[in-house]
Amino acid sequence: MRVALVPTMGALHAGHGALIDQARQDADRVVVSIFVNPIQFDRAEDFERYARVLDQDLEFCEKHGADMVFAPGVEEMYPAPQKTYVDVDEVSQHLCGAFRPGHFRGVATVVMKLFQIVQADTAYFGEKDAQQLAVIRRMTADLNVPVRIVPVATVREPDGLALSSRNQRLTAEQRRAAPVIYRALEASRRLIEGSCRDAAKVREAGLSILREEPQSRVEYLEVVDEVDMQPLARIAGRVCIAAAVWMGETRLIDNVLCEAGE
């Protein structure tokens, strides 16, 4: 019997639905975990503000055909002070890792715990969280974890905004402005597809669009390799253009993948 795990922090939306749907196609049993993991938050207020709507999430999981929902409390996942952590070096160094100290240590640790608890054959992660996906892939490879990691494409609103539970925090004005992130990433991708191989020029193409939007405050926009998430000077092969942008008090991340031809 093939068991699939879809790890989430709840506040489920169509992006999570795509993960569950893919798992449903691939596996005999689908387990969705819902756990707001305190050790991956670098700001206590962000942890407290995170949406918790378990009843709605349970209905959502049932609608998408999940066989089981694992929704533990903090005391169940961390019954004693945590002394053991999983650190994935290098992959977690840049992008979000540079601005959210300890975040990926918390992510890798809780995912490893979930892998041990559920004993799944496959686990599903969204490509929107590209660095998280890279961290989990490297962790499973380095530690010989017998779980196949399955990436699922980013789900977007019609105007390009990547679906995220954080989107509900945006004001009406911020929501209207937020698609600028995807427009900036697409502008950078078009340069690469047009044979530009200078990462600085590609970055500037995206940043120039973000600067035009007064609602946005850029944390980063970088061109990195897809595997180790390292910033590039010259572009070759498959790369990820990733951005983190603040809209007011809400931090949004997004990325696009691009294949640089010969």
In a domain, residue 122? The reply is: yes
Q: What is the pLDDT of residue 261?
A: 66
Q: Where are the alpha helices (DSSP H) in 101-232?
A: 103-118, 130-142, 172-177, 180-193, 199-211
Same-domain status, 20 and 118? yes
Task: Look at residues 93, 126, 152 and tell me which one is the last residue of a structural domain.
Answer: 152
In a domain, residue 160? The reply is: no
Regions of the chain short of the pLDDT cut 50: none
- The model's pLDDT over 7-30, given as tens digits with 9 standing for 90+, comes to 999 999 999 999 999 999 999 999
Bridge partner residues of 224 (DSSP): 231, 240
Active site residues: 16
Q: CB of 188 within 8 A of CB of 206?
A: yes
Kindly report the CATH number assigned to the domain that includes residue 130. Answer: 3.40.50.620
CA atoms within 13 A on the CB side of 206: 30
Q: How many domains does the chain have?
A: 2
Same-domain status, 46 and 131? yes
Q: CB of 199 within 8 A of CB of 231?
A: yes
Same-domain status, 15 and 135? yes
Strands across the sheet containing 3-8: 68-70, 29-34, 3-8, 122-126, 148-152
Distant-in-sequence contacts of 71-75, Cβ < 8 A, 24+ apart? 71/10, 71/33, 71/34, 71/35, 72/33, 72/35, 74/38
In a domain, residue 157? The reply is: no
Same-domain status, 31 and 59? yes
- The model's pLDDT over 207-233, given as tens digits with 9 standing for 90+, comes to 999 999 999 999 999 999 999 999 999
Selection from 119, 95, 96, 6 nearest residue 43 by Cα:
96
Residue 112's domain comprises 3-152
Same-domain status, 126 and 10? yes
In a domain, residue 245? The reply is: yes
